[in-house]
Amino acid sequence: MRSKDRISYFYDGDVGSVYFGPNHPMKPHRLCMTHHLVLSYKLHDKMEIYRPHKAYPVELAQFHSVDYVDFLHRITPDTQHLFSNELAKYNLGEDCPVFDNLFEFCQIYAGGTIDAARRLNNQLCDIAINWAGGLHHAKKCEASGFCYINDLVLGILELLKYHARVLYIDIDVHHGDGVEEAFYFTDRVMTVSFHKYGDLFFPGTGDVKEMGEKEGKFYAINVPLKDGIDDTSFTRLFKTIISKVVEIYAPGVIVLQCGADSLAGDRLGCFNLSIDGHAECVRFVKKFNLPLLVTGGGGYTKENVARCWAVETGVLLDTELPNEIPENDYIKYFGPDYSLKIPSGHIENLNSKSYLSSIKMQVLENLRCIQHAPSVQMQEVPPDFYIPEFDEDELNPDERINQRTQDKHIQRDDEYYEGDNDHDHHMDDV
């Protein structure tokens, strides 16, 4: 057992200020709400808080195609009407709209996951948290499911520089298709996704029969579930499968995507999980005492998303949070009872014992096909991506450079203030 986990937490208030548009279910404002719960419970006193660097286009192109990254960089709401062919090619539109500061939004959330991976690689922390990350649907050359840049793939690529085997676990209600697809042909990454499957539910992939190909055969694990799964069924299945995966695969590091749309009452979800049930998965993964990168993901009832990720931050810090939410700038969203926990839901559980047993047996059977953890000939580790120095002479004088660009990446003391110096608290609901 480690004596005490060192936790690094990544946050930039700018990430919560973007707006996907009217009636769009994705509300990045939930990230500000989460952060203010973390502050109100004084959890920031127990962690190192960092503002992530904005990922450079060349960093994003470690996975994504250069032309796609370049298009995201250039496109704006005012110019999109000129690029109808490209919008269709890159799947930008209703689900993945072009909005103000889209590219900067991608740079910040991806930068957080990349920075988290690097701190783990350099053994500067044991657990790294980026609730803004976890956008698991984005593909190499296109956006998908509200996701533009796949920060998880970029973070895993970073971890692979130092670790022979990376385990990716996904408890979002939607299948983690973008991450699975990126590593479908390799045994260096095992992907394990627990998700709703069937009834044309997005993205339509994630059958138990999808298990990887070539060198990656048996290294993609899918746990397809039906509507209404509850805490008891979900956590029992999760613990059985994940304990066997860790035993057989022997990963050097774990990436855990904590999409909160698997909670009861989610605007787009269909499960019955309480926050306690969801958080129990996080608690279980933490007990393996492996380096751990934790991200957010989906979650569309934003007050419950904030509750969930605040509780899970507490879990990672071994800190039980009082159920009464302390005063904070977003307290009005948590009424009328202002309590932290939400109960499980009441959707009919269509997951029979026999169905769950058959899924479990198929997954365990596939795991038995892996004789032992794959050995990897580790080459000389490539350097962390070179970050160019800030050179005023080379800056375009027409481009606005704000103070944030020149700030150091570590969070300033005044970021903690919940008063006039807190730049996030002025934000209205989006």
Q: Alpha-carbon distance 178 to 144, whole Å?
A: 9
State how far the Cα of 20 lies from the Cα of 370, in Å rounded to an integer: 43
| CA triple 49-53-55, angle to 5 deg | 140
Instruction: State yes or no: cis peptide before 203, omega within 30 of 0.
Output: yes
Q: Burial code of 224-260, b = ≥16 C-beta within 10 A, e = fewer?
A: bbbbbbbbebbbebbeebbebbbebbebbbbbbbbbb
Structure tokens at 120: 């783990």
Number of H helices, E strands in the chain: 12, 8
Cα 412 to Cα 51: distance, rounded to the nearest angstrom:
9
d(CA 167, CA 151): 15
Cα within 13 Å of Cα(185), Cβ side: 2
How far, CA to CA in Å, does 380 sit from each of 122, 160, 250?
15, 12, 22
Query: Which residues form the catalytic set?
Result: 137
Answer for the pair 173, 195: CB distance below 8 angstroms, yes or no. Answer: yes
CB atoms within 10 A of CB 421: 12
